[in-house]
Amino acid sequence: MAGIASRRSMMQYAAVARMRMQMLAHSARTGRGKFDIVAQIATWSTYLFLGTLFAAGFAMGAFHILYGGHLGYFSLLIWGALLMWQFTPIMAISFREEYDLSGLARYPLGFGAYYILFIFFGFFDLSTIFGLASLLGIAIGVSLARPALLPIGLLALAIFAAFNILLNRAIFAWLSRWLARRRSREILGVFFFIVVVAAELMNPALHEFHLRLPANLLALLKILIPFDALFPPGLVSGGMLAVTHGHLLRAALSLAGLAAWTILPGATLAARLRAQYRGENLSEAPARKPEAAPAKGTNRPSRFDVTGPVAAVMVKEARYLMRSYQLLYGLVAPLILMLVFTGTPRHHHTGALVAPEHLLLPLAVLYAFLGLTRLIFNSLGSEGTGLQFYFASPAPFWKIMLGKNLFHMILLAIEIVVLWVIAVLRAGLPSAETMAITLCAMTFIVPANFLAANLVSLHVPYRMNLTRIQRSQGATANNLVSLLAQLVVGGVSAIAYFVAYARGGPWLAAIILLAMGVVASLAYWLVLRGLGTRARRRIEPLLSDLARTAS
């Protein structure tokens, strides 16, 4: 770690920061870039607002605990902050816009400077914002309730923040390394399916546990409390508790223990980054086997071998999907959500999360769309330099998009059917009326969404790296527009449904939705046929955003 504050390292930090600022400034040169910045501002404003709410909540919690003299419970608050810090990336699927440091490896950057830069880029992350906001709130609560505890509190919280940042970065770095291999992603995929099945099987047991939750929780806490003092949250509160009792040595020991905990993720991260710094290959290459020469006459066409651009694109999309854990996760996530929202099986209605039965089918459609948003609304994002081929090939561009759309529609249909079967098994068959209206609504929602998705894919695309857990430049703008489009389509169909329902009952609503579906399908077809002209006009920005020099 020597030299992290040397003159050369400082120059290098400044150069990287300046480079990032210049890139940000240049991204505003185009309308697309300006829009992306606006989307980023909107997103970060939301994060900051949520962070402020978290800070206020934690400040009130800390104030209440300390002012009431219940310092023994302070550790629970710190545990809350820790869990939020480490689990926010998972809950929010926060694959951040991660700057790839490997591009700097060819410069004379010391390992210490490389490490510092890796940590630095972790600051611009949802979990770090929420985590720091919660710790700030706790510090405010401490300063208001027990000002005398503020010095020790600030010191302990600062070390605790360092622990969390290092832990978060270490988890990210190791996970990223692990998931860089296709085999690991396949293991993760299997793990997800096992989790889904296990959740289903465990439901009756959880139901029993749920009934006796208060007693179970207390029993669990009684077992865990003696060990609390050994973990970072317990050490933070232990240090503060020791100061209130005048045991300065014990407080110092708690802080030393906290510092020792901080070294652990720091060292784990260092081990990972050292390998990265020395140079490693994160590609699929390790999975590659030496190729055997094909015997003559054995070159039979594969089962998926099809001709025609539409079919060829569909096969290519299927192969991409099977090789991307991120996209597969998008398919599995709605299934998990459906299990959560449908609560326990039909005869065990207990959970507050249980959705009304007549809404289960519309919810299935909604979840399925959400799961496939990245695929449908950024359908060119994973092409990379292969995008150029589409423009160089003799196939009309609209047929390429049609191939993608058809494949995504098939996926959507499968996803909806599976979700609906889960819903039916758990909550019973919805009425014929609900089924008819939902199907009629789908005749509008599907083509309208695909119409919007094709335009968004052409005008607000972003480059997806299917082998790395990272968010890409431009993803925020695309996500925002996709969400807006889905809200508009969903809102229009809802308004039409409610107005028609109020005027003439459910069957009029079904007919109106069907009529809207016909119009939407026609509009979809007309826009699809015009995509070639639109794409030719946008070749340069598309190649620049999706296929050219990495930024």
Partner 1 sequence: MNSPAISAQNVTRRFGDFVAVDQVTFDVAPGQFFGFLGPNGAGKSTTIKMLTGLLAPSSGNVHVLGEDMSRNPVAIKQQIGVVPEGMALFGRLTAAEYLRFVARMYGLDRQTTRQRTEELLEFMHLANEPKKLVTDFSHGMQKKLALAAAVIHAPRVLFLDEPFEGVDAVAAVTLKNMLQGMIARGATIFLTSHVLEIVERLCSHVAIISKGRLVANGSLEELRHGVASRLPGTQGDEKLTLEQIFLNVVGGNSADEAQELSWLA
Nearer to partner 1, 514 or 547 (CB): 547
How many other CB atoms are there within 10 angstroms of residue 189's CB atom?
16
Nearer to partner 1, 388 or 521 (CB): 388
Distance from C-alpha of 436 to C-alpha of 510, rounded to nearest angstrom:
7
505 sits in the region (left: phi over 0; alpha: psi -120 to 50; else beta) called left
Nearer to partner 1, 281 or 299 (CB): 281
Give the residue among 493, 477, 432, 525 at the shortest CA–CA distance from 35: 477
Give the residue among 180, 163, 168, 161 at the shortest CA–CA distance from 275: 180
Q: Are 451 and 534 in contact (CB under 8 A)?
A: no
In the complex, minimum distance from the CB of residue 170 to partner 1, in angstroms, rounded to a whole number: 20
Nearer to partner 1, 23 or 353 (CB): 23
In the complex, minimum distance from the CB of residue 17 to partner 1, in angstroms, rounded to a whole number: 10
In the complex, minimum distance from the CB of residue 470 to partner 1, in angstroms, rounded to a whole number: 17
Nearer to partner 1, 16 or 165 (CB): 16
In the complex, minimum distance from the CB of residue 23 to partner 1, in angstroms, rounded to a whole number: 4
Q: Are 139 and 158 in contact (CB under 8 A)?
A: no
Nearer to partner 1, 394 or 540 (CB): 540
In the complex, minimum distance from the CB of residue 542 to partner 1, in angstroms, rounded to a whole number: 12
The helix/strand/coil state of 141 is helix
Q: Which residues bind partner 1 (CB under 8 A)?
A: 7-8, 11-12, 14-16, 18-19, 22-23, 26-27, 29, 103-111, 275, 278-281, 285-290, 544, 548-551
Q: Are 471 and 95 in contact (CB under 8 A)?
A: yes
In the complex, minimum distance from the CB of residue 380 to partner 1, in angstroms, rounded to a whole number: 17
Three-state SS string over 342-386 comes to: CCCCCCCCCCCCCCCHHHHHHHHHHHHHHHHHHHHCCCCCCCHHH
Kindly report each contact of residues 501-506 with a partner whose C-beta sits within 8 Å and lies 24 or more positions away, as own/partner.
506/433, 506/436, 506/437
Nearer to partner 1, 176 or 262 (CB): 176
Nearer to partner 1, 1 or 48 (CB): 1
In the complex, minimum distance from the CB of residue 533 to partner 1, in angstroms, rounded to a whole number: 23
In the complex, minimum distance from the CB of residue 471 to partner 1, in angstroms, rounded to a whole number: 17
Give the residue among 110, 136, 197, 125 at the shortest CA–CA distance from 165: 125
